Amino acid sequence: MVTPGNLMASFAAATLFFLLQALLLLPPSAASSSNLFREYIGALFNGVRFSDVPVDPGVQFHFILAFAIDYTTLASPTPTNGNFNIFWDSQNLSPARAAAIKRSHPNVRLAVSLGGDSVGGRSANFTPTSVDSWVDNAVSSLTRIIKQYHLDGIDVDYEHFEADPDTFAECVGRLVTRLKRSGVISFASIAPFDDAEVQRHYLALWKKYGKVIDYVNFQFYAYDAGTTVSQFLSYFDRQKSNYRGGRILASISTETNPGGLSPQNGFFRACKTLKKQGKLGGIFIWAADSSKSDGFRYEKQAQSLLSVSS
């Protein structure tokens, strides 16, 4: 027999069902919390170690080793068509230390960034011989490095290109897809910035393979120095539109004379605004190497902001 109580129970159950369905259909950026902090490390060879960097237990923390590059490690580096070699400070950021930081901090994950700006004083160009050969070489060489260093993901930071956007999209998209399907990595990110050529390549990748990319480490510090809070928020919305559905991270650089919105001019105020609006996908800093001399002041501040529920 149908009673008012039965009807109310059925209505409540149906409502809960549809709410759960709606949550499951939301993109990761909308359905997950924004307590992700990411830190590039190892590019400057100044002796910084994982254990030097403060880790707040209230955040998801990703160290990103900078860099692995598909170039030879000789005095005059040349492209290797997807055969990646280590170009970070592997003496201080070794496999043993990678394993140790993950044991000490269960919330820590590790990734490796691919490419970067330069190698041996020259531009680190993306130079594939063919899509198939580059992807095969990249999967093989990166799988070896990832397993050796106990890594969990990759970050793509090519900034110079000797290939068209479609070729870049196919190479990187297939690489990420194969590494995920084989269980070698659990996440992937890209690190574009507001340059016409860079954006053409990364937006082509996003259009075709955005579903396999978890985070967008947009280099907001590549904008002009003296950026204001209102300009930063406008830039953030523009990139959120470009990489629609993506989890966009805010960013600063701790190198000398960085661009973008500085902490002194309101970076963390802008991040609080984005967090309240539900837009902040996390914060990343370039880089631990240059933060070391200041006692990781902004790493502490960023993690404090992210770890507070609001």
Q: Residue written as tokens 């990678």?
A: 98
159 is catalytic: yes
Q: Give the span between the Cα atoms of 195 and 218, in whole angstroms.
A: 11
- Within a 10 A sphere around the Cβ of 40, how many other Cβ atoms? 29
What DSSP string describes 169-202? Answer: HHHHHHHHHHHHHTTS-SEEEE---S-HHHHHHH
Q: Residue written as tokens 């937006």?
A: 203
Q: Give the span between the Cα atoms of 189 and 196, in whole angstroms.
A: 20
Which residue of the set 159, 162, 170, 197 is catalytic?
159
Q: Which residues lie below 8 Å from residue 16, measured CB to CB, with a gap of 6+? A: none
Helix (H) or strand (E) holding 68: strand 60-69
Identify residue 103 by its one-letter amino acid code. Answer: R
State the pairing for strand pair 125-126/215-216.
unpaired
- List, by residue number, the catalytic residues: 159
